[in-house]
DNA sequence: TCTGGGGTCCTAGGACCC
DNA sequence: TCTGGGGTCCTAGGACCC
C-alpha cells in the first residue's frame, strides 16, 4: 500500500487565472483578508522575491514597477473548486482524506485500473487538469510523511520530475535526503530546526538516522513518530471517516480601527453569529466559548483581553452566544484604546444530539425550528438576509476590506460568466 | 497610514483526590 | 536533619500545519 498526496500549484492564483486569462504569464498575488498580505503568489511573483505573508504596503514600489496583479481572496470560489478537485480524486480512489483547501491524501494502489502507482498519479493529474483546470503535483510514499516529502521534492524541481515523485525506493530516498534541508521536512518548524542543529542534524538523512528515543527527547512523541515515518514505518492510522471538528474560530481584523464600544460590540456580534452558523451547519453544539479583543501588535502596548465561559447546556443558539459575547465586550472594553481585531472561539464541539444536558437549564422548545428557518432563509437568499438586531445593519467600516475580489464565478447565478 | 485566518496535537503544571 | 506516592482532570501555552 502507499500514500499519495496531491496539491494544487499556487492554488489561489491558479483559481483566479481560470476565469481571467489576462492573469496568465504575468506576476499575480492573492491577498489575505483586509487586503493586507500576499498569501499566494504566481511563479512570476515568486521570481520577483515576493514572499509568503509580505505586507502589500511594503512592496508598493515593486507592485508598480513590475505590474504585479493583485486579487482579494475569494473563498467562495476556492471552496467550490476544492470540492470539484476532490470529486475527481474520488473517481480514482475510494479512500481519500482532505488535508487542506489545496491538498488531499489518497491511498494506492487503485485495484481495478491495474496501473502502477506512478502511472495512476499521472492519470489523476491529467484528469484534474482537464476536468477542473488546475495544475497539480503528486508525492508518493509508504507513509504520509514520505508522500509529503515526495510532494515537496516534486514542487522544488518541477521540470526534473514532471509533477510526480515516488519515494518507495530506499536508495532514492537516501540520495535525495542527503541534500534535503531538515527544515523543509513536514513537521519540522523553526523551533525544532534550532533544537536539532546542535545535534548535527541538518538534513532529512540525518533526521532519519536519529534514534527514536533521541527524537522523543529533543522534541516530543510527535518528532519520534516523524522519524519512524521517514523510515517508512507507518505511525498514523488511516481515517475513512473525517474527524469531527473539535474547535472553530471566527476572528477578523477590522477594515478600520475601532474605538467605540457599540462598534466593537457589533463587530463581535457578527463574528459570534457567524461562528454559530458554522457549527450548526455540521449539527454541532459548543461547550465552551471564548471572546477576545486586540489592538495592533505592531504598535506599542496594544490592548489585549479575552474572556471565556462554559456553556451549559452546550448550544449553537446565536441568541445565547451573541448575548454572552456582547457582555464580554462590555467587560473587556477600555475607553481610549484602539482596537484592530476581535474574535470568537467555540470549543469542545459535540454532536447536538449527544450533548450533556443541564439539569437546571430551561431550554427553549421552539429554538430548533427558529434556527432552521433562519439558516434556511440565509441559504436561499444569501448570507445575512436574516440576522440578530445586535449585529447592526449594512456594511460597516470595521468589516473586512476586499477591494479587488473577483466574482463568484461558479457559485452565484448573477456572477456566472457569459460566453459570446 | 497600511502587517490574515483557522486548525490540531502535545506538555507542563496546578488543583484536587485517596 | 527529617518531609509519600500515585492518580485524574483541567488549562495555558507552545509548536506545527496550510
Query: Strand C: which bases are under 7 Å from protein Cβ?
Result: 11-12, 14-18
How far is A239 from A21, CA to CA, in rounded Å? 39
State which protein residues have CB closer than 7 Å to strand B: A 32-34, 36-37, 39, 52-53, 55, 57-58, 220-222, 243, 245-253, 257, 278, 296, 298-299, 340-341, 343, 400
Name every residue whose Cβ is closer than 8 Å to that of residue A121 and which is 6 or more positions away in sequence.
A4, A108, A138, A140, A164, A166
List Cα–Cα distances, A390 to A177, A185, A379, A395, in angstroms: 56, 47, 21, 14
State which protein residues have CB closer than 7 Å to strand C: A 7, 99-103, 148, 185-193, 288, 308, 310
Q: Which residue is nearest to nucleotide B3 (CA to C1')?
A: A55
| Strand nucleotide closest to residue A188 (CA to C1') | C16
- pTM for this model (two decimals): 0.93
| Strand nucleotide closest to residue A55 (CA to C1') | B3
At residue A215, the pLDDT reads 94
In terms of pLDDT, which residue wins out, A270 or A113? A270
Q: What is the pLDDT of residues A180-227, one digit of tens each?
A: 999 999 999 999 999 999 999 999 999 999 999 999 999 999 999 999
Cβ atoms of A345 and A245 within 8 Å: the answer is no
Q: Which residue has the cell 430548533?
A: A368
Q: Over 80: is that where the pLDDT of A85 sits?
A: yes
Q: Over 70: is that where the pLDDT of A381 sits?
A: yes
A100-104 contacts at long range (C-beta below 8 A, 24 or more positions apart): A101/A11, A102/A7, A102/A8, A102/A11, A103/A5, A103/A6, A103/A7, A103/A8, A104/A5, A104/A6
How far does the CA of A223 sit from the C1' of C3, in Å? 38
Cβ atoms of A44 and A29 within 8 Å: the answer is no
A120 falls in which pLDDT band (50, 70, 90)?
very high
Cβ atoms of A70 and A79 within 8 Å: the answer is no
How far does the CA of A197 sit from the C1' of C7, in Å? 38
Name every residue whose Cβ is closer than 8 Å to that of residue A55 and which is 6 or more positions away in sequence.
A36, A37
Over range A300-322, report the average pLDDT.
91
How far does the CA of A237 sit from the C1' of B18, in Å? 37
| Strand nucleotide closest to residue A306 (CA to C1') | C12
How far does the CA of A313 sit from the C1' of B17, in Å? 27
Calculate what percentage of chain A has a pLDDT beyond 90. Answer: 81
- State the DSSP code for A37: B
For chain A, domains (ranges, CATH) are 14-73 (3.40.1170.60), 181-240 (1.10.150), 248-391 (3.30.1490.100)
| Strand nucleotide closest to residue A36 (CA to C1') | B3
How far is A53 from A27, CA to CA, in rounded Å? 16
Over range A18-33, report the average pLDDT.
96
| Strand nucleotide closest to residue A186 (CA to C1') | C17
Q: Which of A398, A374, A397, A372 is nearest to A384 (CA)?
A: A374
pLDDT-wise least confident of A84-88, A240-244, A309-313: A240-244
Helices A367-381 & A261-281 angle (0-180, nearest 10): 100
**Cβ burial A265-300 (10 Å sphere, 16+ → b, else e):** bbbbbbbbbbbbbbbbeeebbbbbbbbbbbbeeeee
Query: Strand B: which bases are under 7 Å from protein Cβ?
Result: 1-11
Over range A269-276, report the average pLDDT.
96
Amino acid at each position: 500500500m502507499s500514500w499519495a498526496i496531491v496539491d494544487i500549484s499556487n492554488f489561489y492564483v491558479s483559481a483566479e487565472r481560470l476565469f481571467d486569462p489576462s492573469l496568465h504569464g504575468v506576476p499575480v498575488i492573492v491577498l489575505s483578508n483586509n487586503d493586507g498580505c500576499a498569501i499566494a503568489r504566481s511563479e512570476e511573483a515568486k521570481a520577483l522575491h515576493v514572499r509568503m505573508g509580505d505586507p502589500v504596503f511594503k512592496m508598493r514600489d515593486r507592485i508598480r514597477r513590475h505590474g504585479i496583479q493583485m486579487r482579494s481572496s475569494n473563498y467562495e470560489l476556492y471552496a467550490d473548486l476544492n470540492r470539484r478537485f476532490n470529486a475527481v480524486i474520488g473517481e480514482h480512489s475510494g479512500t481519500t482524506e482532505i488535508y487542506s483547501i489545496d491538498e488531499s491524501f489518497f491511498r494506492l494502489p487503485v485495484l481495478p485500473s491495474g496501473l502502477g502507482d506512478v502511472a495512476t498519479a499521472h492519470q489523476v493529474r491529467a484528469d484534474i487538469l482537464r476536468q477542473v483546470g488546475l495544475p497539480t503535483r503528486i508525492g508518493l510514499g509508504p507513509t504520509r510523511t514520505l508522500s509529503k516529502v515526495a510532494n515537496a521534492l516534486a514542487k522544488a524541481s518541477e521540470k526534473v520530475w514532471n509533477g510526480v515523485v515516488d519515494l518507495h525506493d530506499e536508495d532514492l530516498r537516501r540520495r535525495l535526503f542527503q541534500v534535503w534541508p531538515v527544515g523543509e521536512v513536514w513537521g519540522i518548524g523553526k523551533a525544532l530546526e534550532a533544537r536539532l542543529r546542535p545535534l548535527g542534524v541538518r538534513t532529512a538523512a540525518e533526521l532519519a538516522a536519529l534514534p527514536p528515543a533521541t527524537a522523543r527527547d529533543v522534541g516530543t512523541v510527535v518528532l519520534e513518530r516523524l522519524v519512524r515515518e521517514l523510515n517508512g514505518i507507518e505511525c498514523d492510522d488511516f481515517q475513512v471517516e473525517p474527524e469531527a471538528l473539535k474547535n472553530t474560530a471566527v476572528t477578523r481584523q477590522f477594515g478600520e480601527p475601532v474605538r467605540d464600544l457599540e462598534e466593537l460590540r457589533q463587530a463581535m456580534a457578527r463574528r459570534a453569529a457567524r461562528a454559530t452558523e458554522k457549527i450548526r451547519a455540521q449539527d454541532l453544539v459548543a461547550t465552551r466559548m471564548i471572546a477576545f479583543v486586540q489592538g495592533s501588535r505592531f504598535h506599542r502596548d496594544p490592548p489585549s483581553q479575552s474572556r471565556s465561559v462554559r456553556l451549559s447546556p452546550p448550544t449553537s443558539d446565536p441568541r445565547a452566544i451573541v448575548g454572552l459575547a456582547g457582555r464580554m465586550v462590555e467587560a473587556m472594553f477600555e475607553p481610549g484604546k484602539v482596537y484592530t481585531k476581535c474574535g470568537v472561539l467555540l470549543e469542545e464541539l459535540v454532536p447536538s444530539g449527544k450533548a450533556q444536558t443541564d439539569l437546571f437549564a430551561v431550554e427553549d422548545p421552539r429554538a430548533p425550528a427558529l434556527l432552521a428557518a433562519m439558516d434556511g432563509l440565509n441559504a436561499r437568499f444569501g448570507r445575512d438576509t436574516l440576522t440578530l438586531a445586535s449585529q447592526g445593519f449594512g456594511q460597516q467600516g470595521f468589516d473586512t476590506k476586499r477591494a479587488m475580489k473577483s466574482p463568484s464565478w461558479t457559485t452565484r447565478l448573477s456572477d456566472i460568466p457569459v460566453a459570446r
